[in-house]
Amino acid sequence: MKNKQVQKALKSDTPINSMYALIPDNRMRVFKKFAARFGFTEERIKSVLENEKRKTGYIA
């Protein structure tokens, strides 16, 4: 993950979704394990991503 990609993702209309998309497939399991330590289940992560899309009117 390059710094330029992260900066672009943070400035996007949907920063949470953009940052999530930058997580490589081979590191996703580790991310989900990390997020679980803060009470984020897989369903809650999906909910946060969907809510951001709804608030910004983003349609994938």
- Give the separation between CA 60 and CA 20, rounded to whole angstroms: 14
Q: 59 pLDDT band (50/70/90 cuts)?
A: low
Q: Which domain holds residue 44?
A: 3-56
Q: Angle at Cα 56 formed by Cα 21 and Cα 20, nearest 5°?
A: 15
Q: What is the pLDDT of residues 10-57, one digit of tens each?
A: 999 999 999 999 999 999 999 999 999 999 999 999 999 999 998 877
pTM over 0.75: yes
Burial code (b: 16+ CB inside 10 Å, e: under 16) for 24-52 equals eeeeeeeeeeeeeeeeeeeeebeeeeeeb
- Give the separation between CA 21 and CA 43, rounded to whole angstroms: 16
Total structural domains within the chain? 1
8: left (phi over 0), alpha (psi -120 to 50) or beta: alpha
Does residue 1 register a pLDDT over 90?
no
